[in-house]
Structures are given as C-alpha cells and as structure tokens.
Amino acid sequence: MRPGDTVAVVCPSGPADPLRLRRGVRLLESLGLKVVVGEHALERGTPEGLGYLAGSDAGRAADLQAAWCDPAVTAVFCARGGYGTTRLLDLLDWEAMRAAGPKVLIGSSDITALHHVFGVEFGVPTLHGPMPACSTLSDEDGPEPLTWASLQAALFGEPQPVAGTMALAPGRAEGVLAGGNLSLLAALCGTRYQPSFDGKIAFLEDVGEEPYRVDRMLTQLLQAGAFDGVRGIVLGSWVGCGDPYPVLRDRLLPLGVPILAGLPVGHGSPQMSVWFGALGSFDTESCSLSGRLGGAEQAR
C-alpha cells in the first residue's frame, strides 16, 4: 500500500460504536489514505431484533462485496469482530469477487472466517490485525503504540517479527501461515469451508473461553483431520481463557511438531499484525515468528 490509496471500512460482524469508528477512520486518514465507509456500516440490529449484528445479512454482505469489487479500493478494513461473518459466506458472489482481482483484507477475531475462505477462494494473503473500531486503535488517547507500529509496517513495508514467550515443543517450522480464532475455525468444521493445515503453520488464539471449551474445539478440529500434515503451531493470546496451557499441551503435543506460544496476536493489547497466506517461519530457540509476502506457492 501507498499513501493516497483508497481503503474501505465495512462491518461484516457486530455493530460498531460510531465514535470509535470515526476515530479509527481519522487514524487511517492520518496515513494519507482515502477512506470510504460502507453504506450499512453503522446499522445496528436486524428487523428480527438480532442486536448482535451490524444490520441485515444482505446489507453486510453487500457492503463487503461492493468494497472488494470496487476497482478504486486497495484494501478492505473490517471495523470490528463480534459475530456474523459465517452468515455471509453463502451470500457472497465469489465469482464476481474473484474477478475483481487481488486486494488486502484486514481484521481479526470473527473475521477469521473471511481470512480462511478468502485464502481458499482467491489465494491471496490477508492481514490478521487490529480493526478501526476496536480499542487498540480507537481509544480516546490514541492507538496502542506497538499495535499501531506493527500494522503500519505490515501495510507499507516489511512485516515485523513477532516474539513469543515460551516453547511448548522445540524445533523449527516453515510454511504458509493460516488459522485465527479457534472458535471460528471449529465452527467451520462440517461445512464446505472446513479448514486444513496440511503443509502449513497453524495459528490459534481465542478470548473468553474456558479451558474445557478450548479442549472441545481442539478435539473437534483434531477429529476432523484439520491438523493432518501440519508443520508447526503458533499460539497467540488467550485473554479471559483461564489457564489454557494444560489443555493446549494435552491436545497439541501428540502432533509431534514445533509449538511456539505467547505471541501478542489476537485479542488483548498490544495486538501485533501477521499475514495469513504468506510464508511464515519460526524457531523455538529465538522464540520468534517471521513472515514475508511472496514465496507462499513454493511453501505449499
């Protein structure tokens, strides 16, 4: 991306706080970007009374598709996560969006569903990072500095390595980075969008899930074969999940691959940015995940 590019902000999940969204838009404009906001981005609830959604499924899908298909738009920022992206997957015209050509999708949490399916449908890297209407970017006192620096580096230059805090299983791994929020990945099991980490590095994180629920979701992914052929695993933040590490060790160590944990990626602050669908590598000796655009096809 370059200063002067046009980016779109859409709300495919939960409703955004208008004040936070305005702050987030001004922040993006401070980078020299032209920002357009989706027509339905500030809607709240549905005619059926589903207040946890940012308007109707049709409206949210229309905003996302219009932004992706607009030839003037370089990148599409999701305003926030929450709930609702899986409801859009069968409403999007994948052929029309594929014909629009590559651009960048940015978001995290519930946006995991879009990261995964965009990677499958379009074969383009997507950026797992902070969102304009969320606290790490839109607090009254300004963005969290490390979060903001990481996002800018990922968008305009070379992605910064992200340091973890511990190794659950030693070793080194290289492969295309994929994954995201554990709850969303588990929810895609049994659908035509079921995830597979074959030949890849899997990234996992979650928020507000008790360890027994983390256990259940990991078991679901394991029994679905999602981890068959995985090259390595990196674990992000587990805010409000108690102590998930006994469960993570119990479920993931039998896979026999390197596992790096404690990356500030996912929920919480700071929230570092990483590219999915790009070549990633890590070694537990340096306790650091590196990624770069390009080379992903060879890694597959």
Question: Nearest-CA neighbor of 234 among 163, 294, 136?
Answer: 163
Measure the N-to-C terminal CA separation of the chain; round to a whole number of Å: 25
CB-side exposure of 39: number of CA atoms within 13 Å?
A: 11
Per DSSP, the residues of 225-258 read TTTTT--EEEEEEEETS---HHHHHHHHGGG-S-
Cβ atoms 206, 196 nearer than 8 A: no
Q: Pick the catalytic residue: 13, 40, 108, 109?
A: 109
- Which DSSP helix (H) or strand (E) runs through 62? helix 57-69
Give catalytic status of residue 116 as yes or no. no
Strand-pair partners of 207 = 239
Q: Pick the catalytic residue: 205, 237, 273, 290?
A: 205
Q: Which tokens hold the place of 51?
A: 């207040």
Give catalytic status of residue 297 as yes or no. no
Question: Nearest-CA neighbor of 54 among 20, 85, 22, 16?
Answer: 16
Residue 65 vs residues 11, 42, 76, 82, 216: alpha-carbon distances, Å: 12, 17, 10, 19, 33
Cβ atoms 200, 230 nearer than 8 A: yes
Radius of gyration of the chain (CA): 18
Q: Which tokens hold the place of 207?
A: 């928020």
Q: Pick the catalytic residue: 40, 115, 128, 267?
A: 267
Give catalytic status of residue 109 as yes or no. yes
Which residue type, as a one-letter code, is found at position 68? W
Q: Which tokens hold the place of 173?
A: 């791994």
Catalytic positions are 109, 205, 267
